[in-house]
Structure 1
Amino acid sequence: MDTMRDRFVPVVSRLLDEDPRVAVVLAEIGAASLAEAQLRHPERVINVGIREQLLVGAGAGLALTGMRPVLHTFASFLVERPFEQVKLDLGHQGVGAVLVSAAASFDWPAGGLTHMAPGDVALLDTLDGWTVHVPGHPDEAETLLRHAVAAGDDKVYVRLSVQSNADALPVDGERFLPVREGRSGVVVAVGPMLDSVLDATEGLDVTVLYATTVRPFDATALRRATRTAGTDVVLVEPYLAGTSTAAANDALADVPHRVLGLGVARPELRRYGTVEEHLAAHGLDVRSLRECIDGFVRGGRAGTRG
């Protein structure tokens, strides 16, 4: 199966052919893969070199002229390094763009912390008006990328990862999808965490919701699920643990509830390892997830992890 990033290149190439408003801005990463598209549309495929602040600034300039810019590089270089430009050039000027990242939280462990961005969604949460898509399968990445480009002039972040679920689901860029029903709690699985969550909750009496669009947070779906499953909620996110706990708390503010946020922990892992080893170290492997989720919905102390 191809990866989400493998899917990005042909999809954005077709979007360039289909829509004269679409422009792609790169900071060296991905430029070789889009060389053919650049030959067809030299004025709308722009490589600014290793200048990530300029990447965002150029995208904002294109948006000011009425274009729909798609900006692409690793998440740490797209959200963290040029954050001031994301805040000012896009947000302060009131223009939109589609930011499409690669590498996720630790997709390339050998790159070290410079190429890891577990805090990207939490950082965008400090700004107003961002839509955030976290696909869990290449097919979903294609759907959500097309949705993002077509979303008027909104500010949209599409978070791609090499981690993937086995099967795609019919995502719509808005709602959480119920994939399992139970009566002893609700588990929200974000993007590529779905398969692990389903394995971890096998035999547990819990409802599982699948989230590929996490901002805006689908409070309606969560509230609906808690009516039959109870108000113990576990969030399993492939980025910084607790990123969405405030959103879940706000959704259930008028009812007694408990929320547990599982995700990437704050301490830095200083050994490269593999993606699977990083998942286990952060408690996002199937065994650790089952221990935490089962302990939490039973009211035990195991639910305090993360």
Structure 2
Amino acid sequence: MDTMRDRFAPVASRLLDEDPRLAVVLAAIGTDGFTGAARRHPGRVVDVGIREQLLVGAAAGLALTGLRPVVHTFASFLVERPFEQVKLDLGHQDVGAVLVSAAASFDWPAGGYTHMAPGDVALLDTLDGWTVHVPGHPDEAETLLRHAVAAGDDKVYVRLSLQSNGRAMPVDGERFRTVREGRSGVVVTVGPMLDAVLDATEGLDVTVLYATTVRPFDAPALRRATEAAGTDVVLVEPYLAGTSTAAASDALSDAPHRILGLGVGRRELRRYGQPEEHVAAHGLDARSLRERIGSFLGAAVRV
């Protein structure tokens, strides 16, 4: 199966052909995938070199002229390094762009901590007005990228990962999807964590909601799920643990509730190893998730 990032350049290239308003802005990374598109649209495929602050600044400039920029590099270089430009050039100037990341939390451990960005979504949460898509499969990534490009002049972040579920789910760029119903708690699983969560909760009497658009947070879906399953909620996110706990708590502010946020821990793992080892070290493999979810939900009465 191809990866989410494998889909990005072909889909973005087709969108360049279809939409004269679209521009792609790169910072050396990923340029090979746009060779043909750059020949067809030389003014709308821009490579600024290894200059990530300029990457976002140039995108904001293009947006000010009326174009819809799609901006791509590793998450750590797209959100963290040029955060001031994301905050001011896009946010303060009130212009939109589609930021499309790669490498996610720890997709390339050999690159070291400089190429890891488990805090990217939490960092964007400090700003107003961002839509955040976290696909769990290449097909979902393609759908959500098209949603993002078509979203007027909004500010959108599409978080791509090498981690992927075995099959795609229908996604609409807005709502959580119910994939399992139960009566003893709700588990909200984000993007590529779905397969592990379904394995972890097999035989447990819990509702599982699947989220690929996490901002805006689908509060109505969570409230509906808790009406039948109770207000014990577990969030399983492929980035910094607890990133969405405040959003979930706000959704349930009129009812007593408990929330457990699972995700990537804050401690830096300096033996970089392989992505699967990071998943296990952060307790995000199916076995660890079952122990942690079951303990929090009181073993979640079996179906």
Shorter-chain TM-score: what band? over 0.9
- What are the Cα deviations for residues 242-297 of structure 1, in whole angstroms up to 9, with x where unaligned? 00000000000110100000000000000111111000000000110000000111
Between the two proteins, the alignment pairs up a number of residues equal to 300
Residue of structure 2 in register with 1:23 after alignment? 23
1:99 counterpart letter in structure 2: L
| Alpha-carbon separation, structure 2, partners of 1:33 and 1:98 | 18
Residue of structure 1 in register with 2:182 after alignment? 182
**What's the Cα RMSD here?**
0.8
1:225 counterpart letter in structure 2: A
Whether the aligned pair in 1 keeps the contact of 2:293 and 2:299 (CA below 8 Å) is no
Shift of 1:299: 7.5
| Alpha-carbon separation, structure 2, partners of 1:215 and 1:272 | 30
Residue of structure 1 in register with 2:45 after alignment? 45
2:181 counterpart letter in structure 1: E
- What are the Cα deviations for residues 185-215 of structure 1, in whole angstroms up to 9, with x where unaligned? 0000000000000000000000000000000
Residue of structure 1 in register with 2:272 after alignment? 272
- What are the Cα deviations for residues 33-87 of structure 1, in whole angstroms up to 9, with x where unaligned? 2111111111000000000000000000000000000000000000000000000
| Alpha-carbon separation, structure 2, partners of 1:165 and 1:196 | 8
Residue of structure 2 in register with 1:148 after alignment? 148
Structure 2 counterparts to residues 1-306 of structure 1, below 5 A: 1-298=1-298
| Alpha-carbon separation, structure 2, partners of 1:246 and 1:94 | 25
- What are the Cα deviations for residues 135-167 of structure 1, in whole angstroms up to 9, with x where unaligned? 000000000000000000000000000000001
Gaps of 5+ in 1: 301-306
Whether the aligned pair in 1 keeps the contact of 2:174 and 2:213 (CA below 8 Å) is yes
1:92 counterpart letter in structure 2: H
With normalisation by structure 2, the TM-score equals: 0.98
1:185 counterpart letter in structure 2: G
Shift of 1:230: 0.5
Q: Alignment identity in percent?
A: 84
- What are the Cα deviations for residues 226-250 of structure 1, in whole angstroms up to 9, with x where unaligned? 0000100000000000000000000
Gaps of 5+ in 2: none
Shift of 1:9: 0.8
| Alpha-carbon separation, structure 2, partners of 1:273 and 1:284 | 16
Show structure 1 runs of 4+ deviating over 4 A: none
